[in-house]
């Protein structure tokens, strides 16, 4: 992941559920053009934030020794704007396992109101080299994840 869109995790049940947040600020580059007089977070960035949280939740079951690559997204819905100053909370939950694939659902909330949802995010899990897994754990910590949240994870 080049763009890390998560500011912190408040709950992680490896391989089953995650709750994370993103603090949306006016200093984000996207607001220079989307839209200068009425800044709103683009839906694609809301979607990517939900996908990142679900990917880490899926990979955490194996202690982040795997990467979860998004292969399908079904039924995304957007209900409200996300504006600078909002804290967007993302909740993701496992729907089912399909062998090496895993399917999640996600919703994004602002002020406890659903602003977006995705019925299915499908990922394929791929093993990482030890060095790549170390870097993935560093990215997780950088985004506010705590290694203690991974303590229930089963090593691959």
Name the DSSP letter for residue 80.
S
Is there a catalytic annotation at residue 34?
yes
**Do 81 and 42 contact (CB within 8 A), yes or no?**
no
**Residue at 1 is within a domain:** no
Does residue 47 fall inside a structural domain?
yes
pLDDT at 52: 96
Q: Is residue 153 part of a domain?
A: no
What's the domain count of the chain? 1
Residue 17 has a pLDDT of 97
Q: Would you state the torsion angle of the CA atoms of residues 30, 87, 68, 153, taken in this order, to the nearest 10 degrees?
A: 150
- Specify if 126 maps to a domain: yes
Residue 148 is assigned to a structural domain of this protein: no
The pLDDT profile of the chain, 156 residues, written as one tens digit per residue, is 568 999 999 999 999 999 999 999 999 999 999 998 999 999 999 999 999 999 999 999 888 899 999 999 999 999 999 999 999 999 999 999 988 999 999 999 999 999 999 999 999 999 999 999 999 889 889 888 887 777 555 444
For residue 147, the model assigns a pLDDT of: 77
Residues contacting residue 102 through CB under 8 Å, at least 6 positions apart: 15, 58, 68, 94, 96, 122, 123, 125
- Of 34, 83, 101, 139, which is the active-site residue? 34
Is residue 65 in a domain?
yes
Predicted pLDDT of residue 7: 95
CATH number at residue 130: 3.10.129.10
Flag whether 54 is in a domain.
yes
Residue 2, domain member (yes or no): no
**Domain span at residue 43?**
8-143
Q: What is the Cα–Cα distance from 22 to 27, expressed in whole angstroms? A: 14
- Calculate helix-pair angle for 130-142, 43-60, nearest 10 degrees: 130
């Amino acid at each position: 992941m080049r763009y890390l869109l998560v500011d912190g995790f408040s709950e992680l049940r490896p391989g089953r559920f995650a709750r994370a947040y993103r603090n949306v600020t006016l200093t984000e580059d996207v607001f220079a053009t989307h839209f200068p007089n009425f800044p709103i977070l683009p839906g694609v960035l809301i979607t990517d934030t939900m996908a990142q949280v679900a990917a880490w939740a899926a990979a955490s079951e194996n202690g982040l020794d795997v990467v979860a690559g998004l292969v399908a997204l079904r039924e995304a819905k957007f209900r409200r704007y996300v504006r600078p100053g909002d804290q967007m909370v993302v909740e993701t939950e496992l729907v089912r396992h399909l062998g090496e694939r895993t399917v999640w659902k996600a919703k994004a909330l602002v002020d406890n109101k659903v602003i977006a949802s995705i019925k299915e995010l499908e990922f394929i899990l791929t093993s990482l080299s030890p060095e790549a897994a170390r870097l993935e754990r560093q990215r997780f910590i950088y985004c506010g994840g705590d290694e203690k949240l991974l303590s229930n994870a089963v090593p691959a």
